[in-house]
């Protein structure tokens, strides 16, 4: 039985995966309970043909992942207020189960402080969930649901009240770490985040480094993330740990050069408004298993 909470979905596309997009839209349409209202945002590209009833927005330029998703949020009214929950789904993903929207409704209805749910991403052919897709340090068992401190950008559900309270995704990030920026602000405002293994999005196994801008933006946005959100004492600790981890992973020389270029850029360019989290939020992150120094 539906809880009555209204669910919408935001999908951004570059228009280059029309078959995958259509399959995703079909899987959203098959969800149990009240229909999920869908907005597809063409991020600097035309939107391929979509089923009747699916709203589309075509942006004249690519605003990046957070910018495109923010446009989708506002399509549901200021901060998405026309619905209670928004799903964010990658355009080459697929909801294999028909009860995902209903599971979201029940999760948010039963826990008034739950702000964000991160889905489990599984390869459609093997069923394997990559370790990096489990948003916690202890990621060996992807079938274990838990409270977490961040979420997966292309497979999640957000209570729209969170956007009304803490704002949307950081447009300027363009790609990488925008989810953690929102997650930290939501946690600082008292919201909780769950990873749910029973809410599944099928998505082909890929490497994040397939994006040409990956190394630069990962480094730049990591610095911005720290400058925007961490107490001043933790900023050098957090960034020092991540520099060490990057070196230990021994990336290629071009990748390391791009990473250090992005790191410098993160310090030399505006990061947006600084709102350092409270120390009690630092303690909450620590108790949840991921202190904000890693």
> At 58, which helix (H) or strand (E)?
strand 55-58
C-beta of residue 215 within 8 angstroms of C-beta of residue 133: no
Cα separation values, 253 from 207, 213, 214, 223, 264, Å? 18, 15, 14, 21, 17
pLDDT of residue 207: 73
Rounded-to-integer distance, Cα 89 and Cα 86, Å: 10
Residue 118 C-alpha from the chain's centroid: 8
User: Cα angle vertex 293, ends 213, 212, to 5°?
Assistant: 5
Predicted pLDDT at 3: 60
pLDDT for res 206: 79
pLDDT at 209: 56
Instruction: Convert the pLDDT of each residue in 191-223 to its tens digit.
Output: 999 999 999 999 998 776 555 589 999 999 999
The overall average pLDDT reported for the chain is: 96
Which alpha helices (DSSP H) does the chain contain, by range? 18-29, 64-74, 100-110, 160-166, 178-188, 214-229, 235-248, 253-268, 279-287
Q: Which of 138, 121, 79, 116 is nearest to 205 (CA)?
A: 121
Terminal CA-CA length for the chain: 41
Q: How far apart are CA 216 and CA 266, in angstroms?
A: 9
C-alpha dihedral (227, 115, 74, 81), degrees to nearest 10: -140
Res 213: pLDDT: 84
pLDDT value of residue 264: 98
Extract the residue ranges of the chain whose pLDDT is less than 70. 1-3, 208-212
């Amino acid at each position: 039985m539906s809880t009555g909470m209204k669910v919408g979905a935001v999908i951004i596309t570059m228009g280059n995966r029309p078959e995958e997009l259509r399959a995703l839209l079909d899987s959203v349409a098959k969800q149990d309970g009240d229909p999920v209202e869908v907005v597809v945002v063409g991020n600097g590209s035309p939107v391929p043909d979509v089923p009747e009833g699916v709203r589309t927005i075509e942006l004249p330029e690519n605003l990046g992942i957070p910018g495109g998703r923010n446009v989708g949020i506002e399509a549901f009214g200021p901060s998405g207020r026309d619905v209670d929950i928004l799903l964010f789904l990658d355009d080459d993903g697929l909801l294999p189960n028909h009860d995902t929207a209903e599971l979201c409704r029940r999760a948010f209805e039963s826990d008034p402080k739950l702000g964000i749910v991160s889905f489990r991403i599984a390869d459609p052919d093997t069923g394997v969930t990559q370790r990096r897709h489990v948003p916690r340090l202890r990621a060996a068992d992807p079938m274990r649901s838990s409270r977490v401190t961040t979420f997966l950008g292309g497979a999640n559900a957000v209570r729209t009240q969170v956007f009304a309270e803490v704002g949307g995704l950081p447009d300027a990030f363009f790609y990488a770490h925008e989810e953690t920026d929102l997650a930290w602000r939501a946690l600082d405002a008292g919201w909780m985040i769950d990873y749910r293994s029973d809410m599944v999005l099928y998505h082909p196994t890929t490497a994040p480094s397939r994006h040409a801008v990956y190394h630069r933006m990962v480094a730049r946005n990591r610095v911005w993330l720290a400058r925007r959100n961490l107490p001043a004492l933790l900023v050098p600790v957090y960034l020092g740990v991540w520099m060490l981890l990057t070196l230990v992973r021994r990336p290629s020389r071009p990748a390391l050069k791009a990473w250090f270029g992005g790191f410098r850029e993160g310090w030399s360019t505006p990061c947006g408004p600084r709102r350092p989290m409270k120390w009690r939020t630092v303690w909450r992150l620590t108790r949840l298993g991921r202190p904000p120094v890693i």
